[in-house]
Structure 1
Amino acid sequence: MSDHQSINPWNYKPWWCQPWSILLTGNGLIAGSWWLGHRLWLTALVALPILVWMGFFLLLWPRLVQQAWTELARGEEQEMGE
């Protein structure tokens, strides 16, 4: 990345899609499934898709967005240089 500032993708998401709200919601749903059922298999069944969802949005999505913005900025620089 040349002189471009690092862009924070979380600045473009609403409050209900911020890291803290994703963590609170996911952990609350997992804890709620345990509190309601007291069954390990039920909690695991609930936790698996929620952990995948949290992992995607907290780890993978920000990297993909920054990578896409970097590639877009490079393409614009190349077009301006021509």
Structure 2
Amino acid sequence: MSEDDRTSSFFSQPGILAAVIGGAVVGLLCAILVVMFIVYRMRKKDEGSYALDEPKRSPANNSYAKNANNREFYA
């Protein structure tokens, strides 16, 4: 029995051929899901990360603190 006869008889069995094809399909689906998950996480990470042109407030300008007239402002 030669090398070619062994490989042809190996894939001629329907159970083994179905297992190889099924494994390839499942592996391809897993790879697609992993790529989609990576793209989703990268898009979610980029969401809202751009800088807005608003001036930063200093802690001294706290609107909840008492002012010079000792009047309190509540939100």
Provide TM-score, normalisation by structure 2: 0.45
Structure having the higher Rg: 2
Provide TM-score, normalisation by structure 1: 0.42
